[in-house]
A and B are shown apart, each in its own frame.
Chain A
Amino acid sequence: GENVEQHPSTLSVQEGDSAVIKCTYSDSASNYFPWYKQELGKRPQLIIDIRSNVGEKKDQRIAVTLNKTAKHFSLHITETQPEDSAVYFCAATSDFGNEKLTFGTGTRLTIIP
């Protein structure tokens, strides 16, 4: 089955700086890679996703890049703000359309004012 590794487990950045979270996956057939943000005590919420036919996707301050050859994908947050503090999870699936996702173990991002 799929295995997703996520690094780092914790990350602290100064407000206004950029944050990068990286994930690797094992199944070369994986074709869908979403990122979820989870604030303390809340549900995970989708913030951005990418499919395997695209190398990069942006949404305002958030971007995701995908390297299929190396089997890794990354989340980039620019101009970080205090409200970006949360736990971020990457995920992958080879069964897009079913969303039987395999999740990484999460990155706790802290934005330092």
Chain B
Amino acid sequence: NAGVTQTPKFRILKIGQSMTLQCTQDMNHNYMYWYRQDPGMGLKLIYYSVGAGITDKGEVPNGYNVSRSTTEDFPLRLELAAPSQTSVYFCAYRGEEKLFFGSGTQLSVL
């Protein structure tokens, strides 16, 4: 599904470093989401956006920030990486009344 592109695919961070996970779509979808998936667990919603300039917290927003300056881009920012943020991060969009996920970013914080 090429509806949304995530970069990078893999990243290792040191504790306290910062980084931005990129998520881009070119199909004019308004609704976009960031989920994280911990090993053996389901996905948990971090932040979501219903359109450019509008973002809101999900279930686990602490330690993260997002922005939505354009419809196309929905980056996720980690300011002070912690080991608890080691996870797989999925960006998603809502299309055809369903949720579609990107290919994910595997992040390790050591």
Contact = CB atoms under 8 A, between A and B. Distances in A.
Interface of A: 1, 4, 6, 34, 42-46, 49, 89, 91, 96-106
Interface stretch (B14-22, B62-70, B73-81, B91-99): B91-99
Contacts of B43: 44, 89, 101, 103
A38 B92 CA distance: 14
A44 B40 contact: no
Number of chain B interface residues as a range:
20 to 34
Given A98-B48, A100-B58, A105 B102 contact: no
Contacts of A6: 42
Contacts, number: 55
B1 to A, nearest CB: 8
Contacts of A104: 42
A88 to B, nearest CB: 11
B66 to A, nearest CB: 14
A98 B44 CA distance: 15
B48 A106 contact: no
23 contacts: A1-B59, A6-B42, A34-B99, A42-B103, A43-B1, A43-B90, A43-B101, A43-B103, A44-B43, A44-B90, A45-B1, A97-B97, A98-B31, A98-B50, A98-B94, A99-B33, A99-B98, A99-B99, A100-B45, A100-B48, A104-B42, A106-B40, A106-B42
Contacts of A42: 103
A102 B71 CA distance: 24
A103 B44 contact: yes
Pick the most buried of B31, B33, B101: most chain A CB atoms within 10 A of its CB.
B101
B31 A103 contact: no
